[in-house]
Structure 1
Amino acid sequence: MSTYPVHSWFVALVGAVLLSWQTAATARSLPDFTELVEEASPAVVNISTRQNADPRAAGMQGGPGMQPGMPDLEGLPPIFREFFERGFPQGQAPQRQAQSLGSGFIISADGYVLTNNHVVAGADEIFVRLTDRRELSAELIGADPRSDLALLKIEAGEDLPVVRMGRSADLKAGEWVVAIGSPFGFDHSVTAGIVSAKGRALPNESYVPFIQTDVAINPGNSGGPLFNLDGEVVGINSQIFTRSGGFMGLSFSIPVDVAMDVVEQLKRDGTVRRGWLGVVIQEVNKDLAESFGLPKPAGALVAQVMPGGPGDEGGLQVGDVILSFNDEEIVMSSDLPHAVGRVRPGETATVTVMRDKERQKLEMKIGALPEEDQAAMPGSQPQSGSSAADNRLGVVVRDLTAEQKQNLDVQEGVMVAEVRQGPGAMVGLRPGDVITNLDNERIDTVKTFQQVVKDLPSNRSISMRVVRQGRASYITFRLGQ
């Protein structure tokens, strides 16, 4: 009798045992969120608001179909704004009833609640719904639009459930995280994922180094907590990147380390003060790094220094590349606002720069970030007295008049009067641009400009500082033989 059937049965049995063991091992390796959710959920709340707007003016607030109670979305980039707008029915008649907008969480037993600023912005009344179904009126203690955080206070006794705070600085990419919130009004919905990256810079968000995750976040999650596996809050869910209006795998949370600093200032002063250098910076790309003698693209290039600002008084110059701030390495230019913003105005900071291809350390007193960004200086029209366009850049330039220097807030430079075919046109120079620096040489007159252009090297990155409508930036180009 053949033994083949017995052999096949034995192999199948062993395979089934191995598969069962592998499945069990895989299950054991995945995190169990049940205890975390049971412990943390009672401190997570739903936020709603009421805006007592004139129904006749409702259609004029923020675009067609925008309803009373909706947050102010004007400051958000369109791709983010679309996400929030899609969370609300469009084209309906204006209502005065409370609208469910987002989430929040209780950070102290005496009733302090943290949420996003855009959740409560423009509200006349704010309501907080607890897990026991109580709905309480909340007082707005303070809000900080720059970090998109708002601090609320409710009166509900002294024994409210609270979250435990963690440290976002300890997070690592690949770590499991959990979000609890009210997407589309479904209270205490739980989603999980991993940390995708840290220190993300987003458009128009200069002072928050966001945590990026792949946790499913949707309208209504805004302001809710992001937990690590120890059940500690490490972030506040704030934005998603979307092209469809829904979740696409890219969610962004405000680090709790940033949030708690904001909370302390809002409790104490009702507002937030941040450090300020008074400089305009830009990213250092490969060509700029080569031009400034850097071994690799890194740091923040100073394109403009505000006269009389902290950077100006501390000795920062146009063309400096800031490599570190208070011994914190500046890898991307977006790292600098985060670092400076954490410093209290009036404190002294150490700034390491690359200047003339040598490292220098500067000590400077940090100022306070102005309430509103300074407006760009008005441009001026070119005057007479230009150079010929027989230079290697193919541009006609003119000396600046005293009035133009004052209007443009520049000490020196030449104004582009005409752009003809050549490298100048290819890098986007326009009439009215002011060239103040070329190949790391200061440009004060047409004569200096022509001499520097004549001596420009071939087949190497060349930097040029251009002031356009009051804003300065560096561009790079190469000249052939």
Structure 2
Amino acid sequence: MTHYHLIVRLNYGNFIELRYESFVCRDFEAENILALRLRQVALLWVMNHCLNRFSKTAIFWLCAVILTIGLGFGRNSYAQNPNSPAKAPAKAVTTAPSPIEVRNSFAALARRLLPSVVGVRASNNNLRSNPKLFQNNEDLAATGSGFIVDNQGHIITNNHVVELGQTFQISLQNGTILSARLVGRDAETDIAVLKVTSPQPLTWVPFANSDAVNIGDWAIAIGSPFGLGNSFSLGVISGRNRDLQSGRFDNFLQTDAAINQGNSGGPLFNDLGQVIGVNTAIVSNQNGGGSLGIGFAVPSNVVRRISSDIIQYGYVRRGWVGFRARPASVNEGTGVVLTAIAANSPAARAGLRAGDRIYQARNLRITDPRQLARLIADTPQQTIVRIDAMRGNRRIFANVTVGLAPSSAASSPTGANPPVNAMGLVLRIPSPQEAARLGPSAKVIVASIDPFGAARGKLQPGDILLEIQGRVLADPAQARAFLAEAVQNRGTVIVKIKRGNDTYYDVLTARN
């Protein structure tokens, strides 16, 4: 660390001192930038205040002295790093940099935050019969992390941690194990909410505004990587608005804080101890393994909106208009181009057609499909949205009444057995009345179908799924696991369906 002061002496019996606050630098590049800045400021001061009082000769020698001082700064800096490669000239700094805040330790923050972070264990004894999914005949569906968000015991984690589970447990920092109830979950954003009842007060943490997070801000990940509870890792925000091609709502924060298996569902904090995201995914090498310094978190603003719906309704009330879109090409112009319109959807009723190019919605410029999807999804049902578009060379507009997404309409708070999303199907358990009427074989019922999904035209709401790849189904979570396995191994799935009094087989093909 080095402190700099600049003193300039004129050779006319006057003494002039330019004093600035000390600048603290942690590496040689920063030191040279500061040295350059001091030279520039001193030269400007002299030219502005001394040109009329002193001769050009005096000014010449003064400049020479200042440059010599500056070059000395540079030599001292590089002397501390003799093996460093030559650097391109630094861009001039337009304002004097502020002193850099240096933390000696995050220990106090860790002590405050760790009690709010929990380990999550999801179990499902119906999965024991599938050795390809789990080894040693275990009923463990998944383990991960979570964090407490209010004094009522609500815990946020990832959907992929709990989606196959039937029963859930959470572990607190002090070793206490509590049973948890699944309130609801959202496959689209990979967010789920559990709830526990504790005889003791629980420590909870607040959300930050993730829109205010900048690249370079501190990022702190806490969780249970590889089952090692209460693990604390530190990094920075490396990127924003990352698209992992995992869904239409991709909008991840990227961080280099160490995130590994078991961190899923855990919080990403800022240096104030506020949640800025939920750790969800990492980049690892092709053989698996641990963190490579590239991790991703669902932004807190998304998490807050999704979890609020789940806590209030048991599911996410997401707006829907019924179209699919792709980015417009350079030749087409700005915006997105509609590729498909669902029959009898709000978009169809408003007169939109495949091929229309949307460039504005709700008076906002549209630049990519994810932006438009998020805008529609966050719009309350029955809201009329004006959409401006081009149809060929003609400007058009449509007033679209936002509806409720089919997956949301089919969802309802069902305790430990919420609907499951798989291959464009929303699957649920039968109600007690349906179970009595349909018989013991009815374990999985189709609640709704994605109009653009693999089951389009083959299944319909109310169908009973009996088997997948010849395996009898016990519940929607098991159906989700079997579908995922079959798609990964083959790309196609043979399903046995009962519709009314008819039973038949059909083939579903996964769609990208």
Match of 1:248 in 2: 292
Residues in 2 aligned to 1:329 and 1:217: alpha-carbon distance in whole angstroms: 35
Q: Residues 327 and 39 of structure 1: is their aligned pair in 2 closer, same or farther, counting only changes over 3 Å?
A: farther
Match of 2:218 in 1: 176
- CA pair 230-334 structure 1, distance change in 2 beyond 3 A: same
Q: 338, 345, 355: which is aligned to 2:391? A: 355
The answer on whether the counterparts of 2:141 and 2:165 sit within 8 Å (CA) in structure 1 is no
Per the TM alignment, residue 250 of structure 1 is displaced from its structure 2 partner at its CA by 2.4
Kindly indicate whether the alpha-carbon contact (under 8 Å) linking 2:238 and 2:255 is maintained by their aligned counterparts in 1: yes
Paired letter, 1:334: R
Equivalent in the alignment of 1:124:
166
Counterpart amino acid of residue 323 in structure 2: V
> Counterparts of 1:367 and 1:232 in 2: how far apart (Å)?
34
- The aligned residue for residue 454 of structure 1 is none
User: How far apart are 1:158 and its partner, in Å?
Assistant: 6.0
2:341 is matched with which residue? Answer: 305
Among 126, 130, 153, the residue aligned to 1:58 = 130
* Separation (CA, whole Å) in 1 of partners of 2:261 and 2:369: 31
1:283 maps to 2:327: yes
Superposed displacement of residue 139, structure 1: 0.8
Q: CA deviation at 1:251?
A: 1.4
1:212 Cα offset (Å): 2.0
Match of 1:273 in 2: 317
| Residue identity matched to 2:156 | L
Structure 1 residues 351 and 99 mapped into 2: Cα distance closer, same or farther (>3 Å)? closer
Closer, same or farther: CA 353–99 of 1 in aligned 2, 3 Å: closer
Structure 1 residues 190, 359: CA separation in 2 closer, same or farther (over 3 Å shift)? Answer: farther
Corresponding position: 1:137 with 2:179: yes
SS at match of 1:41: helix
Instruction: Please list the CA deviations of residues 221-254 of structure 1 after superposition, one character each: whole Å capped at 9, or x if unmatched.
Output: 0000011122110110111233331323321111
Alpha carbons of 1:304 and 1:99: their partners in 2 closer, same or farther (altered >3 Å)?
A: closer
**Bigger Rg, which one:** 2
2:365 corresponds in structure 1 to 329
Question: How far apart, in 2, do the equivalents of 1:333 and 1:125 lie?
Answer: 37
Letter of the 2:303 counterpart: A
- Cα distance in 1, alignment partners of residues 142 and 198 from structure 2: 21
Are the aligned partners of 2:123 and 2:141 in contact in 1 as well (CA < 8 Å)? yes
Aligned to 1:214: 256
3-state SS of paired residue (1:131): coil
Residue 342 (str. 1) matches residue 378 (str. 2): yes
Listed one character per residue, the Cα deviations across residues 372-396 of structure 1 (whole Å, up to 9, x for unaligned) are 31246779xxxxxxxxxxxxxxxxx
1:225 aligns with 2:267: yes
Query: Could you tell me which residue of structure 2 aligns to residue 439 of structure 1?
Result: none
Shift of 1:44: 0.5
Which deviations, in whole Å up to 9, do the C-alpha atoms of 1:230-281 show, x marking residues without a partner? 2110110111233331323321111111111112211222111211121121
Whose relative contact order is higher, 1 or 2, with alpha carbons under 8 Å and at least 6 apart?
Answer: 1
Q: Distance in 2 between matches of 1:199 and 1:31?
A: 31
Q: Quote the Cα distance in structure 2 between the aligned partners of 1:143 and 1:332.
A: 26
Q: CA deviation at 1:31?
A: 7.6
Matched-pair contact (CA < 8 Å) for 1:178–1:192: yes
C-alpha separation in 1, matches of 2:457 and 2:124? 39
Determine if contact 1:110/1:158 at 8 Å carries over to the other structure: no
Q: CA deviation at 1:51?
A: 1.9
TM-score between the two structures when normalised by the length of structure 1: 0.62
> Structure 2: which amino acid aligns with 1:137?
S
CA drift of 1:307 comes to 2.7
Consecutive unaligned residues in structure 1, runs of 5 or more? 1-10, 68-91, 380-472, 474-481
- Contact preservation (8 Å) 1:274, 1:343: yes
* Distance in 2 (alpha carbons) for counterparts of 1:324 and 1:174: 32
1:130 to partner: Cα distance: 0.6
Could you tell me which residue of structure 2 aligns to residue 373 of structure 1? Answer: 450
- In structure 2, the partner of 1:419 is none
Residue matched to 2:113: 40
Cα distance per residue 1:33-68 (max 9 Å; x no partner)? 33332221110011112222364x132xxxx2x22x
Distance 2:153 2:328 in 1: 46
Q: Aligned runs of 1:97-116 on 2, under 5 Å? A: 101-116=143-158
CA contact (8 A) 2:141 2:164 kept: no
Aligned equivalent of 1:417: none
In percent, how many aligned pairs have the same letter? 30
Per the TM alignment, residue 367 of structure 1 is displaced from its structure 2 partner at its CA by 1.6
Shift of 1:357: 3.7
TM-score by length of 2: 0.58
Tell me, in whole angstroms, the C-alpha distance in 2 between the residues paired with 1:378 and 1:19. 71
In the alignment, which of 132, 137, 145 is matched to residue 94 of structure 1? 137
- What residue is the counterpart of 2:68 in the other structure? none
The answer to whether the 8 Å contact 1:110/1:159 transfers is: no
